[in-house]
Amino acid sequence: MKRKREEEEKSSTKMEIVWQTPANPPQKHDYIFLNGRRHVRPYYFEFIAHAKNRWAGKTIVDLFAEEFKGRPYDYYVSAVKCGRIQVNGERVPVSYIVKTSQKISHFLHRHEPPVKICDVPILQNEPDVLTVCKPASVPVHPCGQYRKNTVVGILQAEHGLAPLLPVHRLDRLVSGLLILARNATKADFFRQHIEAGMVHKQYIAKVVGEFPEDEQVVDVNINHNAREGRSTAEVGDSCGGKAACTKFTRIDTNGTYSIVLCEPITGRTHQIRVHLQYVGHPIANDFLYLSEHATDRSIEGMSADRAAVNTDLSLTSSYYENCVDEYEQPSEDFSIDPMCTNCPNLAPKGYDGYEEGLWLHCFRYSGPGWIFECPYPDWATLN
């Protein structure tokens, strides 16, 4: 074991490594298409965090082993020895004691999660605004584990469109209209309308059961638990959370499912999903909110939402903890890193390749003097 670690350290220090930063734009050749998924060729990246108070007094190796359990202890020992873990931009010994607020860098062979093989259809391309139909499973912008496998990244790689400033956000598993400003002035124009409550947002959802024929207005607070990646409806005199209001109108039903128009008045995390669950008609494929046991199912991997709560040691100082499942082997060559705990797999461990987008779709945003629309998805018709 000792000899193997020494060989890994020796080979890793001899490797010609090009470290990428946010200044490195995504390119077409960064993507590998395999088994219905868009993968990103693994690349080297510096993840940065600043030492928290509870980290102070720990050795650099113990800090990583205790806080970031996704990799074995031996890996962190090797990473410190060969300089892949640094403090304030300098190499340190494995016995180094961490101090509060120090810059901690972890240089990693980064493996991004796959997304569905989907184009990002451009709906309107104007000098100061771009609208697209966002596919489900693709996040809007770099966050957590995703950087190149994002709407912004794909548009830059495939169409040379940059900079792009998202006017609003859609959850990763939600599809539909996404408005992106082409400059800061236009972004501020939309921001002012949104903050003034002048923007009308419309979504459609496919829900369980026969939704009531009369319009339903749900005015129930929502409390979001970021750690669990889940929100709850809060009712009663001592309810917590933030005020939230959504209007629902039935479009069609066959008794088993209903297509519902959803018009959120506020913009809380998972608002539409939680309010539909509250009225007894959750989105039909939303395992996170289908029942009171949904959280357990999500942990067990039945819900695609699990990927949304996994994050890296990044500029926001959070970290992704790897799972232990194996993933498909890539059909194309890419640089194998001898120290990487994900290689030779293309995706991070824990991604089984199956992921279904939610039956929730944004189709229209409108404000004073402007309106943007997106076509309905295939699932929006009940046969």
The CA distance from 299 to 364, in Å, is: 33
User: Please, are residues 347 and 113 in contact by the beta-carbon 8 Å criterion?
Assistant: yes
Active-site residue among 171, 305, 312, 337?
171
The Cα–Cα gap between 365 and 248 comes to 16
Q: C-alpha 173: how far from its chain's center?
A: 9
Distance of alpha carbon 247 from alpha carbon 122, whole angstroms: 29
Q: Which two tokens stand for residue 182?
A: 């082409």
**CB-CB contact of 157 with 27 (8 Å):** yes
Residue type, 58: K
Q: Which of 6, 17, 80 is nearest to 45 (CA)?
A: 17
Task: Report how far apart, in Å, the C-alpha atoms of 283 and of each of 225, 288, 295, 346 are.
Answer: 20, 10, 15, 32
Any residues with CB less than 8 A from the CB of 125 and at least 6 apart, and which? none
Backbone angles phi, psi at 5, to 5 degrees: -65, -40
Burial of 51 (0-12, 13-18, 19+ CB in 10 A): buried
**CA Rg, the chain, in Å?**
23
Annotation says 62 is catalytic: no
Cα separation of 339 and 324, whole Å?
A: 17
E-strand stretches of the chain: 19-20, 31-34, 37-40, 43-50, 85-87, 103-110, 115-116, 122-125, 129-134, 165-166, 175-181, 200-208, 216-219, 221-225, 230-234, 245-253, 257-264, 360-367, 370-373
Q: In what order do the strands lie in the sheet with 115-116?
A: 31-34, 37-40, 115-116
DSSP 328: P
Catalytic residue ranges: 171
